[in-house]
Chain A
Amino acid sequence: MGGWAIAVHGGAGVDPNLPNERQEEAKQLLTRCLNLGISALRSSLSAIDVVELVVRELESDPLFNSGRGSALTEKGTVEMEASIMDGPGRRCGAVSGITTVKNPVSLARLVVEMVDNDFFITEDNIGMLKLAKEANSILFDYRIPTSGLESCAAVVEKPIQMNGLPISVYAPETVGCVVVDSQGRCAAATSTGGLMNKMVGRIGDSPLIGAGTYACDLCGVSCTGEGEAIIRGTLARDVAALMEYKELSLQEAVDYVIKRRLDDGKAGLIAVSSKGEVAYGFNSVGMFRGCATEDGFMEVGIWE
């Protein structure tokens, strides 16, 4: 036990008709991100730095639904959201409604740092921030990829639905990363473009601490799937609460939450514990994920 561990995800709920090339591309991206995280861990970067770094990579690649490649609102615009949490001290930051900032997860990280800024002299630190106007926006670099559209044209007898949309259109591929570094510190980060065709202003689970993201002394968790189900189930917090209050192990807590806290919802999550364990679980059809631990274990997968 002990040692570092890392897990990444690119969303729960995968179209079973997803063309092979896309499956391969996804696995390559996950592998690349894992390796990025692993070298950072070997260079002794702290857990929170590693999760930010890896999620930036996932945001910058148009393959999944975050940053470049985000899903569109009902008006055809983009509204991204992200959150990040540092286990020690449970410092956290989140943003929503982001339209021009290249890396929402880094903006969320800035919110965490602002907490210690003298501007806020009282202890009442900011847990979540929504920038309504990104006046000082960072370089805009967004293009809508067209490669995702071919699977939308496929006609399926009874298409698998998530959140009321056929899975080929649903675009559930929120991204996330959880890490425990060699000092046993856990961190988690999640980023997304949100629900395809969502109402303008809709906020999902990804920027909500306790729902899509959570980290404390015991573990780090990042969730993906049907946002509303994740919020109602306070999924990320519950993994930690089960470890804390019911003394379940990481895997037991993950299994419990997926089995019992989702009702009719479909979702998945990745988690690491301060002891260097890694775990994931999902009740959806597939979840893009990858994980690795210091003792050499490494795995990338999509299906069960």
Chain B
Amino acid sequence: MGWAIALHGGAGDIPRSMPPERREPREAALHHCLQIGVDAIKAGRSPLDVVELVVRELEDNPHFNAGKGSVLTSNGTVEMEACIMDGNRKKCGAVSGISTVKNAISVARLVMEKTPHIYLGFDGAEAFAREQGMETVDSSHFITPENIERLKQAKTANRVQSNRTVGCVVVDGYGNLAAATSTGGLVNKMVGRIGDTPIIGAGTYANSLCAVSATGKGEAIIRATVARDVAALMEYKGLSLKDAATYVIEECTPERTAGLIAVSATGEVTMPFNTVGMFRACATEDGDSEVAIWHDEPCD
């Protein structure tokens, strides 16, 4: 028992040859966000507040594919999506097609709390965010030179590419669980394309047993209903958090397509992935904590 938190900055082909000037800021961001999350938990904030807070921090950081730093659509625009879920009553909120709101995860939270719906998209989501008085900026705020370059390369190669989604899962000392995920989506994606992140049961899920946030290749995650399946394996087959998560990553998704972070109601944490790497960090009440990128730096 006890609290636990895990966060990720995306799974994928993260080359070990990544130069320090690229690796260090991302590692520092993971440390920083982990600390913010841990402090919030210790200050008694609810898991829902903590996951939102941590994901906002990751969205504001330009090094990850969410909020500022989101990858670009084939039109050179930004279309962000996010999802948040409260394990207690399985309340959830999701948005897609956000282009001017600074923190998509907060819009998702408002959809959950202020509307009778779960999921709002595009114009409807933007209009709702404005009505709620959320902070909006010009969409150029989100665009970084790195991503303009990525789009150019993807167009030259005539392909789309996945890049790093962010997410956070938390359990408090009482077993309350929450999960949140946010992303800019695929490099060079078609305008209007929606991925796994805002799909309850695919990229995000939380119930009274566990909270899960997935990252990787959107379609693989949707097909395998990754986040829901971790919980379903625990519920229907009696597997432990670790075994359920490992099973989903190893047996239900193809090689090099997915990773996830998950915590259980009893304070366990697991972060399996079948890609080259996954930017991740976790901490538990009994003092364990870890920040890692590749496989030889296990956290559980």
In A189-238, the 8 Å CB interface with B consists of: 195, 198-204, 208-211, 214, 227-228, 231-234, 237-238
Knowing A126-B219, A130-B121 are in contact, say whether A201-B127 is a contact too (CB < 8 A): yes
B237 near A245: Cβ-Cβ < 8 Å: yes
A240 to chain B, nearest CB (A): 9
Name B122's contact: one of A128, A132, A228 (CB within 8 Å): A132
Knowing A128-B195, A234-B200, A245-B232 are in contact, say whether A122-B160 is a contact too (CB < 8 A): yes
Task: Give chain A's interface residue range (CB within 8 Å of chain B).
Answer: 35 or more
Q: Which residues of A contact B257 (CB under 8 A)?
A: 123
B115 near A199: Cβ-Cβ < 8 Å: yes
Knowing A122-B160, A132-B191, A201-B122 are in contact, say whether A208-B200 is a contact too (CB < 8 A): yes
B144 to chain A, nearest CB (A): 21
A8 to chain B, nearest CB (A): 24
Interface majority SS (helix, strand, loop, mixed), chain B: mixed
What is the 8 Å Cβ interface bit string for chain A, positions 131-168, against chain B (1 contact, 0 not)? 11100000000000000000000000000000110000
Knowing A124-B217, A129-B194 are in contact, say whether A92-B222 is a contact too (CB < 8 A): yes
B190 to chain A, nearest CB (A): 7
A123 near B254: Cβ-Cβ < 8 Å: yes
Q: Which residues of B contact A120 (CB under 8 A)?
A: 159-160
B124 near A199: Cβ-Cβ < 8 Å: yes
Q: With the chains together, A245 CA to B237 CA distance in Å? A: 6
B199 near A210: Cβ-Cβ < 8 Å: yes
A241 near B236: Cβ-Cβ < 8 Å: yes
Task: Give chain B's interface residue range (CB within 8 Å of chain A).
Answer: 35 or more
Q: Which residues of A contact B158 (CB under 8 A)?
A: 119, 121
Q: Which residues of B contact A91 (CB under 8 A)?
A: 223
Knowing A164-B116, A228-B118 are in contact, say whether A122-B124 is a contact too (CB < 8 A): no
Q: Which residues of A contact B172 (CB under 8 A)?
A: none
B201 near A237: Cβ-Cβ < 8 Å: yes
Knowing A129-B194, A209-B202, A210-B199 are in contact, say whether A237-B225 is a contact too (CB < 8 A): yes
Knowing A123-B257, A132-B97, A211-B200 are in contact, say whether A234-B121 is a contact too (CB < 8 A): no
Q: Is B218 located at the chain interface by the 8 A CB criterion?
A: yes
Q: Which residues of A contact B191 (CB under 8 A)?
A: 132-133
Q: Is A60 located at the chain interface by the 8 A CB criterion?
A: no
Q: Is B246 located at the chain interface by the 8 A CB criterion?
A: no
Q: With the chains together, A44 CA to B103 CA distance in Å? A: 51
Q: Is A187 located at the chain interface by the 8 A CB criterion?
A: no
User: Residue of B at shortest CB range from A256?
Assistant: B236
A199 near B128: Cβ-Cβ < 8 Å: yes
Q: Is B299 located at the chain interface by the 8 A CB criterion?
A: no
In A94-142, the 8 Å CB interface with B consists of: 96-97, 115, 119-133
In B117-132, the 8 Å CB interface with A consists of: 117-125, 127-128
A211 to chain B, nearest CB (A): 7
B127 near A127: Cβ-Cβ < 8 Å: no
Q: With the chains together, A214 CA to B161 CA distance in Å? A: 26
Q: Which residues of B contact A124 (CB under 8 A)?
A: 160-162, 186, 217-220
Q: With the chains together, A227 CA to B199 CA distance in Å? A: 13
Q: With the chains together, A164 CA to B115 CA distance in Å? A: 12
Q: With the chains together, A131 CA to B96 CA distance in Å? A: 12
Q: Which residues of B contact A90 (CB under 8 A)?
A: 223-224
Q: Which residues of B contact A209 (CB under 8 A)?
A: 199, 202, 222-223, 225
Q: Which residues of A contact B233 (CB under 8 A)?
A: 245
User: Residue of A at shortest CB range from B154?
Assistant: A122
Q: With the chains together, A275 CA to B36 CA distance in Å? A: 52
Residues of B within 8 A of A (CB): 90-92, 94, 96-97, 115-125, 127-128, 157-162, 186, 189-196, 199-202, 205, 217-220, 222-225, 228-229, 232-233, 236-237, 254, 257
Of the A-B pairs whose beta carbons lie under 8 Å apart in the complex, a sample of 10, sorted by A's number, is A96-B194, A120-B159, A199-B128, A201-B122, A202-B117, A208-B200, A210-B201, A211-B200, A211-B201, A232-B92
| Contacts beyond the supplied A126-B218, A202-B120: 14 A-B pairs with Cβ under 8 Å | A120-B160, A121-B159, A125-B219, A126-B189, A130-B122, A130-B193, A130-B194, A132-B122, A202-B121, A209-B223, A228-B118, A234-B228, A237-B201, A237-B228
